[in-house]
């Protein structure tokens, strides 16, 4: 709405200032009127008053009177100090809604072949254990940001890098060989990622037993940790893997495939997808060419032991190791090489978003700075989507290991919680048992995703499963229920073409719904600029609140005036479309009936 008003009212205000050519239309700043004042939009008068050297209040009254006289959009005005509050006409709102109603996929910009291409990395798990609660926040956040960027007209590539190599992977392999007796996902009935995770936990438990035994024999704790037989076996297995010994590589491939199958099931249930995959087993040797380039440019330097470093002390950071003295790389080296490879793999790529927890803030600050110093033109277009941890109230939803919350367990528990609360609320009497089962999943997953996404990514979350499924307040089910309510209402209207009189007199609650609808495009733009699905989530809640205020106080289909009935049905229809559209960006399904 602000952009439209800028376009419509600026020429009128400019004509008032014909004697003051220095004032340009972009000088007229519009913002939403504060709730404690009457008005629909507010013009900031202070900057204008300074330019023409007038008292702000007097100038505001003069401009307000001029707009009321010369603009069809302004019905009235009031001035509070340097703020000109404008009351817009019903005709303005009806024209706004007519425009909104006629636009398919309102608020979204469809990408073209020439649109910028952005890559969003998220999930990026290890193949030694199943996904957990932290991964859920990572996945729903990265997936929603990718959708929001696409809705703003970008081509988006959703990717992940899978940590499929290293000592932690070998620990699961050693434990399976030692204690597994040939157990497989098929023979155990366990998902593959759960089975491999089980042996990672077994390794840790047995390793601790060995440490305790060695300490009892007189070894120091540090010596015991380094010389425990299981750890030595895992280290030897890693050496064999790096030497490409087929027997070890074959077992590694088999166990990883178990995990990938389990991950695939979890991703499907969570409703996230990827366009490409990178594997650390392919990328861990990347970056050495980048190191050579940095040495040639004098950006990097070599110490006496042959190790390669970069000095970032002038930027307030520290010296960073990039290559060990034995020529092996560190994670930073791999990330440098992987970033370069991605821009080579996708030549049209113009930017990249890394969805990684805030414990890696320093790592990404260093990574981006090194790439910039190495002269990569795209280094300024990299963004770290940093997010906080997710906690659960003590004692709720403990995983089978008792230390982390398994993603599959949590999603299943959310379905059960949705069933319990929806049944006790008496919301589902009209549905069949099969329909109820589907709805429990939709509500449970919607509650989980919305609770996570409505919070600014940078903030830590205390996730309360029961509170998240409340059918009242700022929750996913409240929004889903409103959508179902509207769809049920619209079934009574039928499929007839809806039209209405442009001279209708509007109720303030109808105006408020239109005002909220008009905010949708700028909301999506703001969410993309901030890489924050919370902007969209809280917009949906504001829209739903405005609609429910309208629904509960105005007879939508009961009016004797057919034009008014048509308008209210159309307004309801567009609200339902925007709820479904915006929830879709968050990866949240909305039911048509409840």
Mean pLDDT per 10-residue section of the chain, whose length is 594 residues: 64 69 64 87 86 87 88 91 92 91 94 96 95 95 98 98 95 97 97 96 96 96 96 96 96 98 97 96 90 93 95 94 90 94 96 97 96 94 95 57 77 92 75 89 96 96 87 93 94 69 87 95 97 98 97 90 89 96 98 88
DSSP string for 110-161: ---TTS-EEEEE----BTTS--BHHHHHHHHHHHHHHHHHHHBT-EEEEEEE
Q: If you count them, how many residues does the chain have?
A: 594
Report pLDDT for 397. Answer: 42
Q: Which residue has the tokens 């414990």?
A: 359
- Assess if CATH 3.30.1360.70 describes domain 2-88: yes
Report pLDDT for 27. Answer: 63
Q: Range(s) for CATH 3.40.50.620 in the chain?
A: 118-281+348-391
User: How far is it, in rounded angstroms, from Cα 89 to Cα 76?
Assistant: 8
3-state secondary structure (DSSP) of residue 276 = strand
Report pLDDT for 207. Answer: 96
Q: By C-alpha distance, which of 22, 36, 21, 27 is closest to 9?
A: 27
- Fold held by 118-281+348-391: Rossmann fold (3.40.50)
CB 432 within 8 A of CB 503: no
Q: Which residues of 23-34 are buried (b: 16+ CB within 10 A; e: fewer)?
A: beeeebebeebe
Q: Range(s) for CATH 3.30.1360.70 in the chain?
A: 2-88
Q: How many CB atoms lie within 10 A of CB 266?
A: 23
Q: Which helix (H) or strand (E) holds 354?
A: strand 349-357
């Amino acid at each position: 709405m602000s952009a439209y008003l800028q376009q419509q009212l600026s020429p009128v205000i400019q004509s008032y200032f014909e004697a003051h050519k220095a004032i340009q239309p972009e000088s007229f700043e519009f913002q939403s009127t504060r709730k404690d004042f009457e008005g629909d939009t507010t013009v900031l008068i202070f900057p204008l008053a300074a330019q023409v050297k007038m008292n702000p209040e007097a100038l505001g009254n003069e401009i307000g009177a001029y707009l009321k006289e010369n603009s069809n959009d302004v019905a009235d005005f009031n001035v509070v100090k340097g703020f000109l509050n404008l009351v817009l006409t019903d005709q303005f709102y009806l024209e706004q809604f007519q425009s909104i109603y006629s636009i398919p996929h309102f608020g979204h910009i469809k990408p073209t072949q020439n649109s910028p291409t952005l890559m969003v990395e998220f999930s990026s798990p290890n193949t030694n254990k199943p996904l957990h609660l932290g991964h859920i926040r990572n996945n729903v956040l990265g997936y929603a940001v990718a959708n929001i960027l696409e809705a703003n007209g970008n081509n988006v590539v959703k990717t992940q890098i899978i940590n499929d190599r290293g000592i932690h992977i070998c620990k699961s392999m050693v434990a399976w060989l030692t204690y597994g007796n040939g157990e497989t996902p098929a023979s155990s009935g366990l998902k593959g990622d759960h089975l491999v995770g089980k042996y990672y936990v077994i390794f840790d438990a047995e390793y601790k037993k060995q440490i305790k035994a060695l300490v009892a024999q007189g070894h120091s704790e540090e010596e015991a940790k380094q010389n425990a037989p299981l750890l030595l076996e895992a280290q030897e297995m890693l050496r064999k893997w790096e030497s490409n010994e087929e027997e070890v590589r074959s077992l590694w491939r088999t166990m990883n495939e178990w995990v990938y199958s389990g991950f695939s099931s979890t991703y499907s249930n969570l409703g996230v997808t990827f366009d490409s995959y990178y594997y650390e087993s392919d990328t861990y040797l990347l970056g050495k060419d980048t190191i050579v380039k940095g040495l040639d440019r004098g950006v990097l330097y070599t110490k006496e032991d042959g190790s390669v470093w970069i000095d970032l002390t002038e930027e307030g950071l520290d010296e960073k190791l990039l290559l060990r003295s034995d020529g092996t790389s560190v994670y930073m080296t791999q990330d440098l090489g992987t970033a370069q490879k991605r821009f080579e793999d996708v030549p049209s790529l113009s930017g990249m978003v890394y969805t990684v927890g805030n414990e890696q803030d320093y790592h990404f600050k260093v990574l981006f700075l090194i790439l910039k110093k190495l002269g990569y033109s795209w280094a300024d277009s990299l963004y770290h989507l940093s997010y906080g941890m997710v906690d659960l109230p003590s004692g709720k939803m403990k995983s089978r290991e008792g230390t982390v919350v398994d993603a599959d367990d949590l999603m299943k528990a959310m379905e059960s919680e949705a069933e319990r609360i929806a049944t006790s609320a008496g919301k589902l009497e009209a549905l069949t048992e099969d329909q109820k089962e589907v709805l429990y999943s939709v509500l449970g997953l919607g509650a989980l995703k919305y609770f996570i996404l409505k919070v600014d990514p940078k903030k830590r979350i205390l996730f309360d499963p029961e509170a998240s499924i409340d059918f009242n307040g700022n929750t996913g089910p409240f929004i889903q229920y409103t959508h179902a309510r509207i769809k049920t209402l619209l079934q009574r209207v039928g499929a007839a073409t809806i039209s209405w009189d442009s001279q209708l007199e509007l109720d303030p609650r109808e105006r408020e719904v239109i005002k909220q609808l008009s905010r949708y495009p700028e909301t999506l733009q703001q969410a993309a600029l901030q890489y924050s699905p919370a902007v969209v989530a809280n917009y949906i809640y504001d829209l739903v609140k405005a609609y429910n205020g309208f629904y509960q106080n105005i007879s939508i289909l009961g009016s004797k005036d057919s034009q008014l009935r048509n308008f209210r049905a159309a307004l309801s229809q567009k609200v339902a479309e925007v709820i479904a559209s915006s929830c879709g960006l968050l990866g949240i399904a909305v039911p048509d009936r409840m």
